[in-house]
Amino acid sequence: NQMMIPHFQHIVKAIVEEDAARIGIYARIIVPQVSQCRPSDYRFLKEHLLDFGKKQGKGTGSYDPSKKYDLLNTLKNTYSCFGILCEDVGFPSSNDSALACDYYDEDIIPTLARFPATSEVDEHSKIDLDIRQIQILTQFESAEVWAAAKYIYMHGKNSLIKDYYKDDDDVGLNTFRSLHSFANSGSRTRSTLFYKEFTEYFDEPNYADVKILEAFDNEGRYGNNGSTDQKETKLARSGLIRTALTSQVMYMMVLAKLNEAVEKCGNGAPNSPRGPDFAWDTAAAYIIGSLEGEGIGGSDHFFDGTLLWGLANERSIEFDRLNGDYYAKSNAEVETLLLSGKGQIISRNCVRLGDTAERIAHMLLVPIIQGLIKYAIGLQFETVADKWSDADMAIGETYANAIIPVFLKYDKTAAETVKRNMVQDSGVSFGELVPDGPQTVADAYLRVANDFGVGCQYIGKKLEVDACLKYVPSTATSTAARTNSSQLMMIGGGLICLISSLIL
């Protein structure tokens, strides 16, 4: 990554000086590398540095001068993806303040889709780049490229652990967080809410890791029976990996961090290193990620994110669940709860913090349930024989396996309905998919909605399938619903505490 610094310096200087020849040279070096970063940044740079000149008949390197500052700012946005700082690249000598770096502090405390973290979790948030790069690499058929994707999964590439060991020569040995370590982390056992249900359902403590490694190795349900030919089941295995990383691995790590914050609440200073505030901010980083940026609701381009926040925004369009600020209603609720939790940590209101953590855990399942319904609609009337190597079947089944253990905690019938329709017996070759229909899959949620304390209106409607179609208001109030009501009353107090602490 350090080798990219001179290339960035050259292209920034070329853009400032409007040197078309050098813009063309360095654009061809840099833009393809940016494809591993935020997708919208890559598309913008490609359109205005590589494609613009071709459309004008002027060749690569020509660009619209009116996009000068947009290009420079977009290039600066990509620096963190390469693990470099703006101050590493610098800027040409100029009186133009727009060319200057915005900061020089290496230990960044990020704002995540408007959520104001107060801990150094910038590197934690970059775990979404690992998922992004695995997604890209698993679109290829080459076994060598898949091996590179597996390496990122096993060892990490973007989320640097800053407290790394230094050898006798005081040379830093960089180590990274890895998705594999998340999938095997002992901290997941702290998530008392659902971890037990997942391990019992799969009969395996590292349930997601097993399925993901099988997919990487071209084995298991969607493998080619040991063949090195990646082509036939590539899309199914890629879909399984991508979906499991977001809906199972990252979801359980979020729960672990939320629970860690609750456990540490009231012990020592709230904002002490490794204290409850740090654990809470880490959970927020694992929900939102670095690719969403700092704006309200996250990135305007919903395909940018790879974590649960981005998934919720993407699904909100399909299910007509956008709020007035044009992002998912469920994300708006998660954001409010995260802010409320910050105030509860400061005020040491640990009982309410536990309620808030549970509410977040349930709300984060909304886009997973929407994904389950989406693929139930797409797979209806298909058979296992037709779809056994299809990405839709693998993704739908993986979403189902992320939901069934949760449903089992509250209602066995709801879990059995999802399993019967979305998880196919590996010994069946010609079974009908979604035999009861997608509406039945959606209706299963109503059996657990009161326990979740999350109304079906957060899920919404896609095509003919309406999550609230058979909803019947009940005068009975479950424990979770009462918790939700009291939680909402605490939000204002939590926000006031948070704002007061920031002012102080």
* DSSP sequence for 32-70: HHHTTS-HHHHHHHIIIIIIHHHHTTS-BTB--GGGHHH
Calculate the CA 258 to chain-centre distance: 16
Confidence at residue 56, expressed as pLDDT on a 0 to 100 scale:
59
Nearest one of 143, 300, 308, 344 to 226, comparing CA atoms: 143
Q: Give the lowest-confidence range in 105-114, 139-148, 318-327.
A: 105-114
pLDDT band for position 97 (cuts 50, 70, 90): low
| Host H or E run for residue 161 | strand 160-161
Residues above pLDDT 70, as percent of the chain: 82
Average pLDDT over residues 399-426: 93
Average pLDDT of the residues in 310-320 = 97
Q: How far is 416 from 145, CA to CA, in rounded Å?
A: 38
Residue with the two structure tokens 């997919």? 215
| Listed residue (19, 73, 25) closest to 50, CA to CA | 25
* CA–centroid distance for 68 within its chain: 31
Give the separation between CA 275 and CA 119, rounded to whole angstroms. Answer: 10
Give residues with Cβ within 8 angstroms of 96, minimum separation 6.
none
Max distance between CA atoms of the chain, in angstroms, equals: 72
Neighbours of 444 (CB within 10 A): 26
Rounded to 5 degrees, what are φ and ψ at 104?
-130, 10
- Coil, strand or helix at 203: coil
Question: For 452-493, how does the pLDDT look when each residue is reduced to its tens digit (9 = 90+)?
Answer: 999 999 999 999 999 999 988 764 444 444 444 444 444 444
Is pLDDT at 324 greater than 80 in this prediction? yes
Average pLDDT on 236-240 reads 94
Q: Which residues, 6 or more positions from 206, have their beta carbon under 8 angstroms from its beta carbon?
A: 183, 184
Give the confidence band of 24 by pLDDT, cuts at 50, 70, 90. confident
* HSE toward the beta carbon, residue 58, CA cutoff 13 A: 15
Q: E strands along 410-472, which residues? A: 461-462, 465-466
Residue 53 has pLDDT above 90, yes or no: no
C-alpha 431/C-alpha 381 separation (Å) is: 10
Q: Averaged over 225-230, what is the pLDDT?
A: 58
> What is the reported pTM?
0.88
pLDDT at 105 over 50: no
Question: Does the pLDDT of residue 192 top 60, yes or no?
Answer: yes
Cα–Cα distances (Å) from 222 to 26, 199, 215, in that order, read 41, 22, 7
pLDDT exceeds cutoff 60 at 104: no
When pLDDT is averaged across residues 70-93 and rounded to a whole number, the result is 88
CB 113 within 8 A of CB 298: yes
C-alpha dihedral sign at 105, 109, 112, 116: negative
The mean pLDDT of 193-209, rounded to a whole number, is 93
Percentage, residues of the chain above pLDDT 90: 63
pLDDT of residue 326: 95
Q: What are phi and psi of 322, to 5 degrees?
A: -85, 145
Average pLDDT, the chain: 85
Nearest to 174 by CA among 137, 213, 123, 132: 123
Reported as a pLDDT band with limits 50, 70 and 90, residue 3 is confident
The pair of three-digit structure tokens given for residue 431, joined into one six-digit string? 């079974």
Of these ranges, 410-424, 425-439, 460-474, the one predicted with the greatest mean pLDDT is 410-424
**What pLDDT was estimated at residue 163?**
62
What's 432's DSSP letter?
B
Rg (C-alpha) for the chain, rounded Å, is 24
More confident: 490 or 341 = 341
Please check the confidence at residue 500 and state whether its pLDDT lies above 70. no
CA gap 284, 254 in Å, rounded: 8
The model's confidence at residue 169, banded by pLDDT at 50, 70 and 90, is: very low
- Determine the average pLDDT of the residues in 343-368: 96
Q: Which amino acid appears at position 477 of this protein?
A: T
